[in-house]
Amino acid sequence: MNNLQSTKTLNNGVNMPGFGLGVFQVEDGAELIEAVKTAITIGYRSIDTASIYGNEEGVGRGIRLGLKETGLRREDLFITSKVWNDDLGYESTLKAYEESLRKLQLDYLDLYLIHWPVEGKFKEAWRALETLYRQGKVRAIGVSNFQPHHLDELLKDAQIIPAINQVEYHPKLTQENVHAYLKAHGIQMEAWSPLMQGELLHHPLIKELAKKYNKTPAQMILRWDVQQDVITIPKSTKPHRLKENAQIFDFAISDEDMKRLSDLNENKRIGPDPDNFDF
């Protein structure tokens, strides 16, 4: 990856931007709409939302404004949403997909994910995603927050291998076993909460390395993601942060410093543990 439009080729041949905007915990409204529009005008091409975020309508408005301002086409963007736990099931997942499209005011999604591996429900939801994919209603399908044993269970009956597994990922939670599993199965890893909701920005080592490379702590962490071959979607609503987060393609972290960052791992989560979560 050498610029904001650089892509990763997924296992079905679809190209997905390696860097994008996440909108978790961004309330629907003017700030969100402006952030999505601004991101597109800056050069972002990937926007990630979910039904549970309650902001798909605002994301859709921001997309339309961004397209209008830039003259881009819908197909120039890569839009992701996710089906929530309450809607997991064959028919209910199909309905949830249509509802997300309605709110976003889009004709299709580029990527649709199962948000959490709810036991006893995710297999039927996956069957629905396979149907949507075969019908050409979505360009790629995947999962989120799946551990290897969840994927093993899914793959027993799946006819299509997930293209993506989006998981919490940052230097305090490197999930090396998950990363190795995904590489072995041709599934692309994607990071949510790459900045650990800002908690990592004040870490002494990250601040030290930021000074060494003449970058910000956020840029160091996001560059670490990119060099680990992990797609990343940091959240921000402020124009200067959107620009700053994207300015990570003009430097490279040395192998030694990459290891120092990876060695910060404590298996520490800021979000729920997929194996110990009351769905």
| Position 57 in a domain | yes
Global pTM exceeds 0.95:
yes
| Position 8 in a domain | no
Which of 53, 97, 112, 181 is catalytic? The answer is 53
Domain residues for 58?
Answer: 14-262
pLDDT 10s digits, 8-50: 999 999 999 999 999 998 889 999 999 999 999 999 999 999 9
| Position 44 in a domain | yes
| Position 7 in a domain | no
We report the CATH number of the domain holding residue 219 as 3.20.20.100
| Position 166 in a domain | yes
| Position 196 in a domain | yes
| Position 273 in a domain | no
| Position 197 in a domain | yes
Q: Is 112 a catalytic residue?
A: no
pLDDT 10s digits, 85-117: 999 999 999 999 999 999 999 999 999 999 999
Our count of domains for the chain comes to 1
SS (H, E, C) the chain: CCCCCCEEECCCCCEEECECEECCCCCCCHHHHHHHHHHHHHCCCEEECCHHHCCHHHHHHHHHHHHHHHCCCHHHCEEEEEECHHHCCHHHHHHHHHHHHHHHCCCCEEEEEECCCCCCCHHHHHHHHHHHHHCCCEEEEEEECCCHHHHHHHHHHCCCCCCEEEEECECCECCHHHHHHHHHHCCEEEEECCCHHHHHHHCHHHHHHHHHHCCCHHHHHHHHHHHCCCEECCECCCHHHHHHHHCCCCCCCCHHHHHHHHCCCCCCCCCCCCCCCCC
